[in-house]
Homo-oligomer: A and B are copies of this chain.
Amino acid sequence: MSDIITVIAPVNIAVIKYWGKRDEDLILPLNDSVSATLDTSIMCAKTSVCARADFKEDAIWLNGKKESFDSPRLQNCLGEIKLRAAAEKSVSEDFLQRKVHVCSENNFPTAAGLASSAAGYACLVTALAKLYKVKSDVSSIARLGSGSACRSVYGGFVRWHAGINPNGTDSVATQIVDSTHWPEMHALILVVGDTKKKTSSTVGMRIATQTSELLKHRVKYCVPERTEEIIQAIRQKDFPKFAEITMKDSNQFHAVALDSYPPCVYMTDVSHFIVDLIHKYNTASGSVKVAYTFDAGPNACLYLLKDEVPKVISLIKHVFPTSKPESFITGLSSGEEVLSPALMSISEPQVQDLIKYVIHTKVGEGPTEITDGSHLLNEAGLPKTE
């Protein structure tokens, strides 16, 4: 049996957004957040780890390129896992002293701003936890890598509790329902061409925390109420309620980013066009059939139930003509449906390639160990691609 551990871990897209930290070093958020974990068969991070006595140094390769292991976030994650292993006495003192090799890659474009760091750190921490045989919940360790990574440690729908302890021990993720609870929940990620320079999430959150008056109100009043309401909607599989809260919370997150000084703007004219299109679609449908949510970038994530997918795909193809029809829709396969004249008329086709491509996916499971031997490290503990 190989001493290499390989894990795949999912992306998650929040429906109640995380924005603003109460502690930057420990990555402790101002408010709770809620997300759906997306199917690893469509988008995932994959990480192999290995610890051997003959390794000379800790080493990491990301997407085929050797990177520095000095990053504080990386050091924090490895250090905390080792502390946990020592406390749990899960491995020998000798094993703890060994250097580790880490090789990680995403099966989707990292440049597209699709929560790659959440998947990446959830994957790394889960792989290390297996390597060091840590049994306890590691979401608080994934959080040290990238805040929202703590949510990718579980499948289904997940809540990240902000916690109140200054040391962050209670800032952990818990699963609301697993991926079998609402299997009809699908997602369409509309990747919008983006040439704008953006403020990083870390900087954007810092500015918002320091300057936005509205963020304080959001954190104190809006998020606590919405969190309880959306959890109830998820448990009851109440799509219209789930969708309404999701859309309102996305808008409010971007509102507080705009209320920052200087303002942070992540959505573009195309993003707002999509928002408008979804509201028109829902109005024409007579009920709320699709929800949009936007992270700190222009891409839209649409949540919708499986039955609605063919119609929405047809609408997207109608409104957003593409120069690459063969690769425009990726991920899960889905049919198309002839649009009613009412739906056809909600928007004229726009100029070509406003949307680069669409990823069709669904809610899925948490990190999983890969046991088929398809490791990213070879027998020498080095990247197979090197």
User: Which positions in A face B, CB cutoff 8 Å?
Assistant: 196, 213-214, 216-218, 221-222, 244, 247-248, 251-252, 254-256, 258-263, 265, 268-269, 272, 275-276, 279
By a CB distance below 8 angstroms, the chain B residues around A272 are: 263, 265
> Would you give 25 A-B contacts (Cβ < 8 Å), ordered by A?
A213-B217, A213-B218, A213-B221, A213-B252, A214-B214, A214-B217, A214-B222, A214-B252, A214-B256, A217-B217, A244-B261, A247-B261, A248-B261, A251-B259, A251-B261, A254-B258, A255-B255, A255-B256, A255-B258, A262-B275, A263-B272, A263-B275, A265-B272, A265-B275, A268-B269
A332 to B258, CA, bound (A): 32
Interface centre among A218, A260, A261, A265, by most chain B C-beta atoms within 10 angstroms, is: A265
Say whether chain A's binding surface is mostly helix, strand, loop, or mixed: helix
A276 to B197, CA, bound (A): 11
Nearest chain B residue, comparing its CB with the CB of A263: B251
By a CB distance below 8 angstroms, the chain B residues around A279 are: 262
Q: Which 10 A-B pairs have the closest CB atoms?
A: A217-B217, A255-B259, A255-B255, A255-B258, A214-B214, A262-B279, A251-B263, A265-B272, A269-B269, A213-B222
Given contacts A255-B259, A263-B275, 12 further A-B contacts (CB under 8 A): A213-B217, A213-B218, A213-B221, A214-B214, A214-B252, A214-B259, A247-B261, A251-B259, A251-B261, A255-B255, A265-B272, A268-B269
A19 to chain B, nearest CB (A): 13
Is A252's CB under 8 angstroms from B259's CB?
A: yes
Nearest chain B residue, comparing its CB with the CB of A261: B248
Nearest chain B residue, comparing its CB with the CB of A248: B261
Interface centre among A214, A216, A217, A248, by most chain B C-beta atoms within 10 angstroms, is: A214
Is B261's CB under 8 angstroms from A258's CB?
A: no
